């Protein structure tokens, strides 16, 4: 901002047309959506009022936030372990691991979701095997409930956790850790007091990324939730396509948008977001 | 669905470029192959509904060859335009968006009759021309201003014969009675069928369902929530039964037959108290092929032979009373309007659903989630 105030670089004139185009193409539809939320079906704040009138909308919000939080914690935890292993293993193994990670990253979400049904479903591989071995009498209900949704989502999100963490861990100066050991700290002390704090930007980056992506999840809850796990994205789609309550849909979409922006703003009060997203500070 | 839409748009642009000579034939064919469309289904002007074609907007799958053979061919033979398909699924919201945007690319939607009530009232549909289309060639309540029922589908249930042996369930009351018939159940996630079934289970007469008593229906549904799964697509309903996840499952009645076959008779369809749903042809306002042409097409679809072919091909039941007698022996147990089943089925009221469907779906979703 201060740079802008001092003088406007002539370079801006070159990019200005494109900036304006992008702004128009992004802001136009978004403003249209926000406009819908206060005009459809009738002008006023009726759509927002619904939030306070119906506890079901709040419940859907709560379900969404709860699932997103658990997904974030679960995938960042697993992703951290994987990234840690990747940084510290042999170069060759590391490239194998990276390949596997990217392959799973590229496979369509539908395929990955339905594979879980094959694996953990009622007649899935795991249940069949356990039953065959006589360990269980009845199949375990892994799928078609909230547990199923969480398994599917955490699995899907792990690559998103690993990649920012990996970048962060690779950029660390390992001599710091050696110095810590040299000064008499144990391995776990070094990890908790040196390594973990140094990887905080990576943790924050992947948490933000995963939480925001999870908010919009649609396919996985619909397929693995057995119809009982209703998240906000699916609800919005039903309001758009089936019940034609576009005002409600626009209101919920607007709230999501501002929720995410507010979250980014709060984060930016505590740390430089540009370091989180890999820019120089 | 989104992807399909995107592919379709890509292809339409490709088709335009090809027509104008900006794209080589080979490039265009490659594009067709990449997007997974056959060239025949999307030749220049095809998918975009120039007036050279009629575009039917449906849910894809087998229905392409079935509708093409049963209605498209005879219509073309009678001098009409050839039939093409858009298989991205004509949900109410998409039809509304298409008409509002002014870029109408479909001529006829294979939709529900309650869509005709909802979208007709808001001015998004062409009125049916009953000088061309016949009110007598469908069931009496199913010829409405903005849509006419061509086929019927229905909500019935299948049960696991091994679970219930000598005393099989035979009504929705049995379906909802988890004490007498223990086991998991599956219901349709988007409310219709499920609400009616719950009311019949609660003792409402099948001919006195409407207007639906929502509180009563939702209470019944909630009472069985812990034992229920909810499906959103036919294949999901199918796999829940075939994989043994439920001992009784609500299904679309034509799927019931596939489930019986896939489980080698272990699961059996019950048609008693099935809810007949009028599937309908509706026409987006300002359809490219014109109102006159599309009305002739719809009239063709009312022909008993066309309807019986659809029954044979898709298991969709004829709505034209003249076709009821022609339902073959093998389809009797599965068809809704067969002599065997017609007295036991309940009939959906599209007007109630058109006017109250949105609120009903939301109330249902809120009750089950």
Report ipTM for this prediction. Answer: 0.82
pLDDT digits (tens, 9 = 90+) for B342-357: 999 999 999 999 999 9
Q: Best mutation site among B366, B367, B368 for testing chain A: the one with the most A CBs within 10 Å?
A: B366
> Which of B361, B362, B363 to mutate to test binding with chain A, by most A CBs within 10 Å of its CB?
B362
Residues from chain A that touch B366, judged by Cβ atoms under 8 A, are 54, 56, 59-60
Choose among B271, B291, B274: nearest CA to B282. Answer: B291
CA atoms within 13 A on the CB side of B12: 16
Kindly state the helix (H) or strand (E) to which residue B147 belongs, with its residue range. Answer: strand B147-160
Q: Which residues of B touch A222 (CB under 8 A)?
A: 232
Percent of chain B with pLDDT over 70: 86
Q: Test A244 with B94 for CB contact under 8 angstroms.
A: no
With a cut of 80, say whether residue B16 has pLDDT above it: no
CB-based contact B365 A230, cutoff 8 Å? yes
From A213, A76, A242, select the one nearest B95 (Cα to Cα): A242
- Percent of chain A clearing pLDDT 90 (strictly above): 52
Please state the rounded mean pLDDT for residues B100-107.
Answer: 93
- Please give, rounded to a whole number of angstroms, the shortest distance from the CA of A121 to a CA of chain B: 9
Closest CA to B36 of B66, B64, B8: B8
First to last CA, chain A: 15
Letter string b/e over residues B32-60, b meaning 16 or more CB atoms within 10 A of that residue's CB: beebebebebbbbbbbbbbeebbbbbbbe
Q: Is residue A4 over pLDDT 90?
A: no
- Residue B1 binned pLDDT confidence (cut-offs 50, 70, 90): very low
Say yes or no to pLDDT of A216 above 50.
yes
Select from A60, A121, A227 the Cβ nearest to the Cβ of B231: A227
Calculate the CA A234 to chain-centre distance: 16
Structural domains in chain B plus CATH codes:
2-152+278-331 (3.40.190.10), 155-276+343-368 (3.40.190.10)
The pLDDT assigned to B265 comes to 93
Residue A119 predicted with pLDDT over 70: yes
What's the pLDDT score for residue B23? 66
| Record: contact B92-A242, CB cut-off 8 A | yes
What residues in A contact B368, CB-CB < 8 Å? 227-228, 230
pLDDT in tens, B27-75: 666 665 655 554 444 443 444 444 789 999 998 878 778 999 999 999 9
At A145-169, the pLDDT tens digits run 999 999 999 999 999 999 999 999 9
CA trace torsion A149, A153, A154, A156 (10° rounding): 140
Q: Per residue in B250-264, pLDDT tens?
A: 999 999 999 999 999
Residue A55 confidence (pLDDT) above 70: yes
> Per-residue pLDDT for B199 more than 90?
yes
Nearest residue of A to residue B230, measured between CA atoms: A227
| Contacts across the A-B interface (CB distance below 8 Å) | 71
Which class does domain A68-276 fall in? mainly alpha
Beta bridge partners of B249: B158, B186
Q: Is B277 helix (H, G, I), strand (E, B) or coil?
A: strand
A279 has pLDDT over 70? no
Name the residue of chain B whose CA is nearest to A240's CA.
Answer: B93
Asked whether the predicted pLDDT for residue B308 surpasses 60, the reply is yes
Is the previous residue joined to B286 through a cis bond, with omega within 30 degrees of 0? no
- Residues of B with a Cβ under 8 Å from any A Cβ are 91-94, 96, 118, 187, 189-190, 225, 229-232, 236, 239, 243-245, 357-359, 361-362, 365-366, 368-369
Q: How high does pLDDT run on average in chain B?
A: 89
**Separation in Å, CA of A57 to nearest CA in chain B:** 8
pLDDT, averaged across chain A:
88
Tell me if B114 sits within 8 A of B357, measured CB to CB. Answer: yes
Determine the Cα–Cα distance for residues B336 and B319; give it in Å rounded to an integer: 9
- The closest CB to that of B230, out of A63, A226, A239, belongs to A226
pLDDT band at A123 (very low <50, low <70, confident <90, very high): confident
Yes or no: say if B342 and B174 are a contact pair by the CB < 8 Å rule: no
Q: Do A56 and B358 touch (CB under 8 A)?
A: no
Contacts of B247 in chain A (CB under 8 A): none
A251: closest CA of chain B, how far (Å) = 16
Instruction: Indicate left, alpha or beta for B339 from its phi (over 0: left) and psi (-120 to 50: alpha).
Output: alpha
B163-187 pLDDT tens trace: 998 899 999 999 999 999 999 999 9
Of A56-65, B11-20, B206-215, give the lowest mean pLDDT range.
B11-20
Whole-Å CA distances, A112 to A81, A116, A156, B1, B146: 21, 7, 8, 17, 42
The mean per-residue pLDDT over the stretch B96-107 comes to: 94
- Per-residue pLDDT of B111-134, as tens digits, reads 999 999 999 999 999 999 999 999
Q: Tell me the per-residue pLDDT of A92-101, one tens digit each, with 9 for 90 and over.
A: 999 999 999 9
Q: What is the pLDDT of residue B40?
A: 42
Q: What is the DSSP letter of B125?
A: B
């Amino acid at each position: 901002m201060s740079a802008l105030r001092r003088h406007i670089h002539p370079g801006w004139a070159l990019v200005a047309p494109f900036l304006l185009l992008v702004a128009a193409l992004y802001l136009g539809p978004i403003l249209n959506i926000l406009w819908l939320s206060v005009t459809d079906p009738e002008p006023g704040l009726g759509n927002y009022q619904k939030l306070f009138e119906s506890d079901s909308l709040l419940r859907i919000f709560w379900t969404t936030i709860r699932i997103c939080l658990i997904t974030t914690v679960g995938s960042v935890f697993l992703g951290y372990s994987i990234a840690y292993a990747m940084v510290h293993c042999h170069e060759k193994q590391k490239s194998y691991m990276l390949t596997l990670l990217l392959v799973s990253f590229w496979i369509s979400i539908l395929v990955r979701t339905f594979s879980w049904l094959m694996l953990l479903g009622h007649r899935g591989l795991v249940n069949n095997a356990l039953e065959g071995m006589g360990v269980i009498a009845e199949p375990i209900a892994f799928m078609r409930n909230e547990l199923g949704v969480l398994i599917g989502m955490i699995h899907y999100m792990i690559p998103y956790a690993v990649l920012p963490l990996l970048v962060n861990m690779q950029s660390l100066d390992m001599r710091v850790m050696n110095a810590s050991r040299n000064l008499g700290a144990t391995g776990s002390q070094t990890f908790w007091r040196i390594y973990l704090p140094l990887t905080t930007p990576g943790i924050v980056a992947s948490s933000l990324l995963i939480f925001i992506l999870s908010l919009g999840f649609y396919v996985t809850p619909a397929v693995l939730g057995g119809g009982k796990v209703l998240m906000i994205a699916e609800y919005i789609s039903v309001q758009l396509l089936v019940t034609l309550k576009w005002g409600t849909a626009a209101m919920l979409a607007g709230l999501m948008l501002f929720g995410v922006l507010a979250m980014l703003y709060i984060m930016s009060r505590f740390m430089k977001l540009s370091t989180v997203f890999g820019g120089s500070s | 669905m989104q992807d399909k839409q995107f592919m379709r748009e890509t292809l339409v642009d490709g088709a335009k470029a090809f027509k104008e000579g900006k794209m080589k034939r080979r490039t265009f064919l490659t594009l067709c192959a990449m997007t997974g469309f056959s060239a025949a289904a999307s030749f220049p002007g095809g998918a975009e509904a120039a007036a050279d074609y009629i575009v039917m907007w449906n849910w894809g799958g087998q229905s392409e060859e079935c509708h093409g053979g049963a209605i498209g061919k005879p219509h073309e033979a009678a001098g009409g335009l050839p039939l093409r398909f858009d298989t991205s699924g004509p949900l109410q919201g998409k039809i509304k968006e298409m008409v509002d945007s002014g870029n109408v690319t479909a001529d006829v939607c294979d939709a529900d009759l309650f869509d005709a009530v909802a979208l007709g009232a808001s001015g998004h549909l062409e009125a049916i021309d009953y000088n061309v289309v016949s009110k007598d060639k469908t069931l009496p309540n199913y010829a409405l201003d903005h849509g006419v029922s061509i086929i019927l589908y229905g909500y019935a249930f299948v049960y696991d014969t091994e679970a219930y042996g000598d005393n099989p369930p035979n009504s929705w009351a049995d379906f909802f009675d988890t004490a007498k018939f223990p086991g998991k159940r599956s219901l349709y996630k988007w409310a219709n069928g499920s609400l009616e079934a719950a009311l019949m289970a609660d003792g409402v007469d099948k001919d006195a369902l409407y207007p639906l008593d929502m509180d009563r229906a939702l209470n019944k549904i909630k009472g069985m929530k812990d034992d229920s799964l909810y499906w959103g697509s036919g294949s999901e309903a199918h796999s829940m039964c075939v994989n043994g996840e439920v001992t009784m499952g609500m299904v679309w009645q034509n799927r019931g037959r596939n489930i019986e076959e896939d489980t080698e008779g272990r699961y059996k369809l019950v048609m008693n108290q099935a809810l007949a749903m009028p599937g309908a042809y509706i026409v987006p306002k300002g359809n490219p092929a014109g109102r006159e042409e599309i009305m002739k097409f719809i009239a063709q679809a009312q022909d008993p032979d066309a309807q019986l072919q659809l029954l044979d091909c898709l298991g969709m039941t004829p709505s034209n009373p003249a076709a009821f007698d022609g339902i073959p022996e093998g389809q009797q147990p599965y068809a809704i309007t067969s002599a065997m089943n017609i007295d036991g089925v309940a009939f959906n009221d599209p007007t109630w659903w058109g006017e109250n469907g949105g609120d009903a779906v939301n109330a249902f979703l809120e009750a089950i989630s």
